[in-house]
C-alpha cells in the first residue's frame, strides 16, 4: 500500500512501475487514442497545456505532492527519478506559482526524466523550449517559490482531476494528459492498437470520399429524430 495523499513528509523510495513493454507500446499512441481505448477515462482537466507545441511524454509516474508556492519536494523527487519516468506534481491547494524552470529541468534530464506534468505554474518557457524538455502545466508564471514546507513524494495524488498512483503510465501531448493505471497498461495498449487499426481503415474510406453519414449508418437515426432537408 502507498501512503495516502493526506500523509505529508513521506518519500517512498521503491514503487511498482508499469511494465516497460506496456509503456513502450503506449508511447506509440496519442492521448486521444489512449483515452478512448480506456473507455474515455483518465484525462486530466483541459487547462493542462504543453509549454511548447509538439511536446510529448510517456512514462511511469513519479508523483509529488507540493505545498502552494513551495517547490522543495520537486528537488526531493529528483533523487527518485529513474530513466524514462515522468514526474507528476499535484498541490495541496490551487497555486499557479512558478514551481519549475530550466535549472530543475536540467537536473531532471540528467536523471533520465521524460518530462513533467504539474498542476501549477512553471517558468523559463523559452529555455525549456530550447532544451526540448516536455512540460505540461496549469499555468506559466514567473513568480518564484520558497523551499520551506514538506509535502510528499511517491504517494497517490489527484493531479488536475485525475487520480495518479506512483508507477502509473502518464501520456501527454498537444491534446492533453491521460493516466493509465499500471495494472491496466497492457490491456489498454491492446485496445489502443485495435482502435488505431480501425481508424486507419476509416481514414481510407473518408479519403475516398465516403461520408460519415453512410459509414456510421446515421441517416435513419437522423430521420427518426426529425431532421429535414429543404431544397
Please indicate, yes or no, if residue 4 is contained in any of the structural domains.
Answer: no
What tens digit of pLDDT does each residue of 54-75 get? 999 999 999 999 999 999 999 9
Please indicate, yes or no, if residue 210 is contained in any of the structural domains.
Answer: no
Containing domain of residue 181, as a range? 10-189
Residue 200 has phi, psi (to 5 degrees) of -65, -40
Query: Residue 17's pLDDT band (boundaries 50, 70, 90)?
Result: very high
How many beta carbons lie within 10 A of that of residue 16, not counting itself?
13
Please indicate, yes or no, if residue 201 is contained in any of the structural domains.
Answer: no
Query: Residue 7's pLDDT band (boundaries 50, 70, 90)?
Result: confident
Distance, in Å, from the CA atom of 220 to the CA atom of 223, rounded to the nearest integer, reads: 5
Q: What is the DSSP letter of 200?
A: H
* pLDDT higher than threshold 70 for residue 154: yes
Number of domains in the chain: 1
* pLDDT higher than threshold 60 for residue 90: yes
What tens digit of pLDDT does each residue of 205-214 get? 999 999 999 9
Using an 8 Å Cβ cutoff, are 95 and 68 in contact? Answer: yes
Position 3 scores a pLDDT of 63
* pLDDT higher than threshold 80 for residue 187: yes
| CATH number for the domain harbouring residue 155 | 3.50.30.40
Please indicate, yes or no, if residue 183 is contained in any of the structural domains.
Answer: yes
Mean pLDDT of the chain, nearest integer: 95
Query: Residue 80's pLDDT band (boundaries 50, 70, 90)?
Result: very high
Distance, in Å, from the CA atom of 63 to the CA atom of 113, rounded to the nearest integer, reads: 12
The counts of H helices and E strands in the chain are 8, 12
Please indicate, yes or no, if residue 162 is contained in any of the structural domains.
Answer: yes
Position 204 scores a pLDDT of 93
Mean pLDDT of the region 97-111? 96
- pTM reported for the whole predicted model: 0.91
Length of the chain: 231
Mean pLDDT of the region 86-105? 96
Please indicate, yes or no, if residue 205 is contained in any of the structural domains.
Answer: no
Mean pLDDT of the region 77-90? 97
What tens digit of pLDDT does each residue of 162-184 get? 999 999 999 999 999 999 999 99
Is residue 212 exposed (0-12), middle (13-18) or buried (19+ Cβ within 10 Å)? Answer: exposed
Please indicate, yes or no, if residue 222 is contained in any of the structural domains.
Answer: no
202 SS3 class: helix
Amino acid at each position: 500500500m502507498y501512503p495516502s495523499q493526506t500523509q505529508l513528509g513521506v518519500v517512498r523510495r521503491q514503487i511498482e512501475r508499469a511494465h516497460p513493454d506496456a509503456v513502450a507500446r503506449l508511447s506509440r499512441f496519442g492521448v486521444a487514442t489512449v483515452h478512448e481505448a480506456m473507455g474515455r477515462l483518465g484525462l486530466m482537466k483541459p487547462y493542462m497545456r504543453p509549454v511548447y507545441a509538439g511536446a510529448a511524454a510517456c512514462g511511469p509516474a513519479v508523483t509529488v505532492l507540493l505545498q502552494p508556492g513551495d517547490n522543495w519536494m520537486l528537488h526531493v523527487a529528483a533523487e527518485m527519478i529513474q530513466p524514462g519516468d515522468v514526474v507528476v506534481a499535484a498541490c495541496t491547494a490551487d497555486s499557479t506559482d512558478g514551481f519549475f524552470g530550466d535549472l530543475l529541468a536540467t537536473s531532471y534530464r540528467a536523471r533520465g526524466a521524460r518530462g513533467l506534468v504539474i498542476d501549477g505554474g512553471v517558468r523559463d518557457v523559452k529555455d525549456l523550449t530550447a532544451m526540448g524538455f516536455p512540460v505540461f502545466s496549469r499555468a506559466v508564471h514567473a513568480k518564484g517559490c520558497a523551499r520551506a514546507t514538506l509535502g510528499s513524494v511517491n504517494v497517490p495524488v489527484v493531479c488536475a482531476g485525475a487520480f495518479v498512483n506512483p508507477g502509473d503510465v502518464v501520456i501527454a501531448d498537444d491534446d492533453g494528459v491521460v493516466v493509465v493505471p499500471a495494472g491496466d497498461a497492457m490491456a489498454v495498449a491492446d485496445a489502443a492498437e485495435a482502435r488505431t487499426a480501425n481508424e486507419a481503415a476509416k481514414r481510407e474510406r473518408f479519403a475516398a470520399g465516403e461520408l460519415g453519414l453512410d459509414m456510421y449508418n446515421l441517416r435513419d437515426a437522423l430521420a427518426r429524430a426529425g431532421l429535414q432537408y429543404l431544397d
